[in-house]
Amino acid sequence: MTDHADPGRVVVAVAQFAPTADRAANLTLIDELTGEASARGARVVLFPEYSSYFIDPFDASLADHAEEIGGDFTNGLAEIAARYDTHVVAGLLERAGDDRRVRNTVVAVDAQGVRARYRKLHLYDAFGQRESDWVEPGEIGAPETFEVDGLRFGMQTCYDLRFPEVSRTLADAGVDVMLVAAEWVRGPLKEQQWRTLLHARAIENTSYVLAADHPPPLGVGHSMIVDPQGVEIAAVGVTTDVVVAHLDRAAVERVRRVNPALALRRYRVVPRD
């Protein structure tokens, strides 16, 4: 195992790919991309929403391919994480409370198993889509986070990005790095909105933001890493690819000293009835 002796500094990666309806093939590609990221020093690798299984349009096969946390997909991620001594973060279909719908879940996995999970709160019932027909929304609760070499990570999913309260609850939980797993559907102005919202979430929370999307033709691609000042420090185009960046907790602290927006705010986030 590699000795990681530089607390507060972490190499991270964003991996962009198009998941299919073949779970084994998806895991194989996740393995390959994680290996590429690890060879470049990555300790955390973020993959898109629905990495375990994806079909367009949605149909009843979603429930057929859902599994429990700790099932074959997360066990496969743990094997990959152990092989490359890294943390793998990816979206999966989790079994829900009924036989018809699923949970849209993101898990952070290391060699020992699941470190944190996030169930999508805001379902994509917009732009002519009805995700709630197939997906059960997550319950509101305290964010699950995980730490790697002195940096704290938190997660959210795709459409959640349009709701700044989700990111703010992560900031309140002490997160330095926000991970966004997405299938950001293409459409008029959608790429511009994707970029704008990712940069805004970084700026207003003075945090790093990592975002992994599906490439075209369904997603917009342009997965990226944004620093706490809203500067895009690494990005993928529209292909299957991996980018890495070096994150530094000192940079977060420095930005928050100069711009103490989190400390100066006069509102807090509370759940809506």
Q: What is the CATH number of the domain that holds 14?
A: 3.60.110.10
Residue 273 in domain: no
Q: What are the tens digits of pLDDT across the range 170-194? A: 999 999 999 999 999 999 999 999 9
pLDDT for 147 equals 98
Annotated active-site residue 49? The verdict is: yes
CB atoms under 10 Å from CB of 273, counted, come to 3
Q: What is the pLDDT of residue 186?
A: 95
Burial, 80: exposed, middle or buried (Cβ in 10 Å; 0-12, 13-18, 19+)? Answer: buried
Does the annotation mark 147 as catalytic?
no
In a domain, 4, yes or no: no
- Catalytic residue (one of 131, 158, 183, 191): 158
Does residue 177 belong to any structural domain of this protein?
Answer: yes
pTM of the model: 0.96
Residues of the chain with pLDDT under 70: 1-5
Please report whether residue 268 resides in a domain.
no
Catalytic residue among 120, 131, 136, 183: 120
Query: Which range marks the domain in which residue 73 is found?
Result: 10-263
Kindly state whether residue 1 falls inside one of the protein's structural domains. no
Residue 67 among the catalytic residues:
no
Structural domain count of the chain: 1
Burial class (CB in 10 A: 0-12, 13-18, 19+), 239: exposed
